């Protein structure tokens, strides 16, 4: 991570899984006036590690890319430990904490000023309705914290019913591409030093999955998500089989709009 912009620290959570890869990455931007991006899972050891990394500084805000527990559940504990406000975009299907702990409802273009440069909200729904990326204007160039919009390896992320919206997801990739970031920092997996290539790779994969489903339907296949998922992905262990079926369901919902 030594080539990444100055003023950035990363605290990795010990929650590795097929969905989180090597675990959730909590990012701290700035030193004297930092923001924390994605506080991570509700794990006391992880919360302690983030507080230790803050070295007594009170964050300007705890910024959530979205409300899924692996990214957001530690926010109330960090709020209690540091006094920093929690900022989350509207639209989450379910919160991992009471609604009254959300101090700031994120709107497009909202900005937080750190001693390492400003951080701005960029709406990126698709993985879920409340998903937001954060653009940091560092001295070393624009850096995007992308949550689950893209992962740090492979060519796919979860865009699954009922929360996932394939049309919104593809539009969000376009929106991120237009911001021309120098780095992409995902919530899971390593940083991406070639954002254009990564965005193109994830876009192509999603469009190909949509095309595969469309071709099977045109050939007379029954529009059943579980059946189509088995045909497309082959046998998968649980819970990946359920995620694959939910992903196909999101594609079926999107086909009329694409």
Give the pLDDT band of residue 128 (cuts 50, 70, 90).
Answer: very high
Query: Is 200 strand, coil or helix?
Result: helix
Residue 93: which of 162, 169, 166 has the closest Cα? 162
The CATH number of the domain covering residues in 8-254: 3.60.15.10
Q: What is the percentage of the chain residues whose pLDDT exceeds 90?
A: 94
Q: What is the mean pLDDT of residues 115-136?
A: 98
Residue 232: which of 215, 220, 257, 253 has the closest Cα? 215
Give the pLDDT band of residue 34 (cuts 50, 70, 90).
Answer: very high
Whole-number average pLDDT of the chain:
96
Q: What is the mean pLDDT of residues 121-131?
A: 98
Q: What is the mean pLDDT of residues 114-127?
A: 98
DSSP code of residue 192: B
Please write the tens of the pLDDT for every residue from 201-257.
999 999 999 999 999 999 999 999 999 999 999 999 988 999 999 999 999 999 977
Give how far Cα 148 sits from Cα of 37, 64, 67, 132, 188, Å.
Answer: 13, 11, 11, 9, 7
Please write the tens of the pLDDT for every residue from 183-193.
999 999 999 99
Question: Between β-strands 183-186 and 141-147, what pairing exists: parallel, antiparallel or unpaired?
Answer: parallel
Please write the tens of the pLDDT for every residue from 137-188.
998 889 999 999 999 999 999 999 999 999 999 999 999 999 999 999 999 9
Query: Is 25 strand, coil or helix?
Result: strand
| For residue 57, pLDDT beyond 60 | yes
238 φ/ψ angles, rounded to the nearest 5 degrees: -70, 140
CA 18, CA 27: separation in Å to the nearest integer?
A: 21
Give the model's pLDDT for residue 121. 99
Give the model's pLDDT for residue 2. 52
CA 141, CA 84: separation in Å to the nearest integer?
A: 27
Give how far Cα 244 sits from Cα of 27, 37, 151, Å.
Answer: 29, 28, 17
Question: Which sequence spans correspond to the domains of the chain?
Answer: 8-254
CA 239, CA 237: separation in Å to the nearest integer?
A: 6
Please write the tens of the pLDDT for every residue from 3-18.
778 899 999 999 999 9
């Amino acid at each position: 991570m030594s080539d990444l912009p100055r003023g950035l620290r990363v605290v990795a959570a010990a929650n590795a899984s097929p969905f989180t890869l090597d675990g959730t990455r909590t990012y701290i931007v700035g030193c004297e006036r930092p923001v924390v991006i994605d506080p991570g899972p509700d794990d006391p050891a992880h919360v302690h590690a983030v507080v230790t990394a803050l070295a007594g500084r009170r964050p300007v805000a705890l910024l959530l890319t979205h409300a899924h527990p692996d990214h957001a559940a530690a926010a109330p504990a960090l709020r209690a430990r540091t006094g920093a406000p929690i900022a989350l975009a509207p639209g989450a299907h379910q919160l991992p904490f009471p609604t009254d702990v959300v101090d700031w409802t994120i709107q497009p273009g909202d900005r937080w000023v750190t001693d390492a440069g400003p951080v701005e909200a960029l709406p990126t729904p698709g993985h879920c309705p409340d998903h937001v990326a954060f653009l940091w204007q560092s001295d070393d160039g624009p850096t995007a914290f992308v949550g689950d919009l893209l992962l740090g390896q492979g060519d796919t992320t979860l865009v699954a019913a009922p929360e996932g919206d394939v049309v919104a997801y593809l539009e969000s990739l376009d929106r991120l591409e237009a911001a021309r970031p120098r780095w992409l920092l995902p919530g899971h997996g390593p940083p991406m030093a070639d954002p254009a290539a990564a965005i193109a790779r994830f876009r192509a994969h999603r469009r190909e999955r949509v095309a595969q489903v469309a071709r099977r339907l045109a050939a007379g296949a029954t529009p059943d998500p579980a059946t189509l998922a088995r045909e497309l992905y082959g046998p998968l262990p649980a819970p990946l089989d359920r995620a694959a079926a939910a992903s196909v369901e999101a594609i079926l919902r999107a086909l009329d709009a694409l």
